[in-house]
């Protein structure tokens, strides 16, 4: 019996015996036994491991299987969200990385992310709201501007007396992104855009608020009051313009009317900037500077409306409606009146 127990102890120490559950690998977890191992440790190790796995309860084996993907997932152990949009992102990112690998372009992934972002906004979010996709496609045309167009358009609005060509270019079909019969703003300086009206609108409201602030009369309601006032006047003007077009039986887009009427805020911003600057530089002269600039910008805006509408309203209109010349003159005169009404000279010296 002593000899038998010593033999078993020897086997437990050396790892001998097939199927011995008390074996240990003397060569480490990642090393296999050498070829001259007299105990054939590599063979009984795999056999013993299989017996240990089979002896575990069923619930423990399932728990180990569930823990494997959790460790692979990283921190948190949650299942990663996957969607067709994410799949498309990976495909675009991989394609961009492969195409730009030879050129050593470090911005390949950023460009791919921008592409998938535009695709998701255009094709994903827009389709969730009925009519939003079509509206976004139309608005994109009015914001297709560049620096060259912005400079030329601002010059044309402020110095409209010196320009003779007012006809818009037609869309020849070479640009698939163009919507409608006219060319995009970055291709034609006579095109209409909403970028300049929007930026001018924001600038004018901020300048009015700055004027209030320097006088110690600013409060958060100033921004809301001036924005509402300007927006209501703009809507009323657009409705009057639309009524004139309707009486002449001429089709027109509301966005075109918002664009051509919104250019007045460029002149209003310049008026306020000149008047405010003179008020800060001198003890008096703010009112004079404002109204002196107003006479020029309002006249230029009225002439701009007169020439633009005269060239872009068809010569043949409804015979029973008002004449084209009368409607165009009314449009031009209303620009002068609206700019005077929206002027803010309360705190100018």
Instruction: Reply yes or no on whether the pLDDT at 323 is more than 70.
Output: yes
Q: Of the ranges 191-200, 278-287, 319-328, which is most confident? A: 191-200
Tell how many helices (H) and how many strands (E) occur in the chain. Answer: 14, 0
Predicted local confidence at residue 116, as pLDDT: 65
pLDDT, average across residues 248-269: 91
Mean pLDDT lowest among 39-43, 128-132, 294-298, 299-303: 39-43
Instruction: Reply yes or no on whether the pLDDT at 166 is more than 60.
Output: yes
pTM: 0.63
Structure confidence by residue, pLDDT tens digits, 63-77:
554 554 444 444 444
Overall residue count recorded for the chain in this entry? 349
Contacts for 317 with CB less than 8 Å, ≥ 6 apart: 248, 249, 250, 323, 324
3-class SS string, 58-119: HHHHHHHHHHHHHHHHCCCCCCCCCCHHHHHHHHHHHHHHHHCCCCCCCCHHHHHHHHHHHH
Instruction: Reply yes or no on whether the pLDDT at 81 is more than 50.
Output: no
Mean pLDDT lowest among 48-52, 120-124, 177-181, 257-261: 48-52
Predicted local confidence at residue 89, as pLDDT: 52
Tell me the pLDDT of the chain averaged across its residues. 74
Confidence of residue 143 (pLDDT cuts 50, 70, 90): very high
- Interior CA angle at 159 toward 158 and 162, to 5°? 160
Instruction: Reply yes or no on whether the pLDDT at 321 is more than 80.
Output: no
Predicted local confidence at residue 234, as pLDDT: 94
């Amino acid at each position: 019996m002593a000899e038998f127990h010593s033999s078993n102890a020897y086997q437990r120490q050396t790892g001998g015996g097939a199927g011995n559950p008390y074996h240990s690998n003397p060569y480490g977890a990642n090393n296999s036994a050498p070829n001259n191992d007299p105990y054939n440790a590599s063979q009984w190790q795999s056999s013993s491991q299989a017996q240990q796995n089979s002896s575990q309860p069923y619930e423990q084996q399932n728990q180990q299987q569930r823990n494997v993907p959790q460790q692979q997932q990283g921190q948190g152990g949650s299942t990663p969200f996957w969607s067709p949009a994410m799949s498309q992102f990976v495909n675009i990112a991989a394609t961009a990385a492969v195409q730009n690998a030879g050129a050593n372009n470090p911005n390949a992934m950023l460009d791919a992310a921008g592409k998938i972002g535009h695709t998701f906004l255009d094709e994903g979010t827009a389709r969730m709201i009925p009519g939003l996709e079509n509206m976004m496609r139309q608005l994109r045309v009015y914001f297709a501007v560049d620096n060259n167009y912005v400079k030329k358009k601002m010059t044309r609005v402020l110095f409209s007396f010196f320009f003779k060509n007012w006809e818009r270019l037609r869309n020849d079909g070479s640009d698939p992104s163009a919507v409608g019969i006219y060319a995009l703003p970055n291709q034609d300086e006579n095109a209409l855009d909403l970028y300049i009206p929007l930026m001018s609108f924001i600038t004018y409201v901020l300048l009015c608020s700055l004027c209030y602030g320097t006088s110690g009369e600013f409060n958060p309601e100033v921004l809301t009051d001036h924005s509402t006032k300007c927006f209501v006047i703009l809507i009323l003007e657009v409705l009057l313009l639309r009524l004139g077009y309707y009486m002449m039986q001429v089709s027109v887009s509301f966005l075109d009317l918002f664009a051509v009427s919104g250019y007045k805020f460029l002149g209003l911003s310049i008026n306020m900037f000149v008047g405010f600057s003179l008020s800060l530089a001198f003890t008096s002269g703010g009112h004079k500077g404002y109204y002196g600039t107003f006479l020029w910008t309002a006249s230029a805006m009225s002439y701009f409306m007169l020439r633009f509408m005269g060239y872009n309203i068809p010569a043949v209109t409804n015979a029973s409606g008002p004449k084209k010349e009368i409607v165009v003159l009314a449009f031009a005169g209303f620009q002068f009146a609206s700019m005077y009404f929206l002027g803010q000279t309360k705190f100018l010296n």
